[in-house]
Structure 1
Amino acid sequence: MDTIEVEGINGDRLLFDGASVAKFRHNGMQEAARNPVSTYREIRVTHRPGRRGKPDTYEVLLAMSSFMSLTIDQSQKSQLDALVAALGRSRP
């Protein structure tokens, strides 16, 4: 399985490798959390329309054995959709 990486607007990122999901901070320099896929509960994505010339963003809240949050822009939406699909397939 390929890895899926979703990069946030502030440099944080989520990395799915098929067995776990990890959150990295500081442009991928510091691993903040890693959870096995078996602890996946749900993912919520909230669309925030852009205002005054700013692009649309998406707030992502991933519930596993710990909570992970990330804000992404429109360019990462396809990666986010791939992550949601992969996590949905991993559910028993």
Structure 2
Amino acid sequence: MDTIEVTGTNGDRLVYDGATVAKFRHNGMHESARNPVSTYREIRVTHRPGKRGRPDSYEVLLAMAAILTLTIDQSQKAHLDALVAALERSSA
């Protein structure tokens, strides 16, 4: 299984390795949470249109053993879609 990495606008990252999902803070320097995929409950993605010249963004809320949140821009949307698909397959 390939690793899926979604990078947020502030440098935080969600990393899926097939068995766990980890959140890294401070530009990927500090692991703040790691949850087994078996604890996956749901993921919510909310589109936020850009205002005053800012690009569109997405608010991600991932409910597992812990609640993980991340804000991403449009360039990370394909990675987010891959993460959502992988999590949905694992819960089926």
- 5 Å-filtered alignment, 1:52-71, equals 52-71=52-71
The answer for unaligned runs of 5 or more in structure 2 is none
Deviation at 1:9, TM superposition (A): 0.2
SS at match of 2:68: strand
Does residue 42 of structure 2 align to residue 39 of structure 1? no
- Look up the match of 1:10: 10
Amino acid paired to 1:82: A
Does residue 28 of structure 2 align to residue 28 of structure 1? yes
Deviation at 1:58, TM superposition (A): 0.1
- Look up the match of 1:50: 50
Amino acid paired to 2:90: S
Distance in 2 of aligned mates of 1:73 and 1:87: 20
Deviation at 1:17, TM superposition (A): 0.1
Give the TM-score normalised by the residue count of structure 2: 0.99
Deviation at 1:52, TM superposition (A): 0.8
The answer for unaligned runs of 5 or more in structure 1 is none
Give the TM-score normalised by the residue count of structure 1: 0.99
Deviation per CA, 1:41-70: give whole Å up to 9, x if none. 000000000001100000000000000000
- Look up the match of 2:74: 74
Percent of aligned positions that are identical: 78
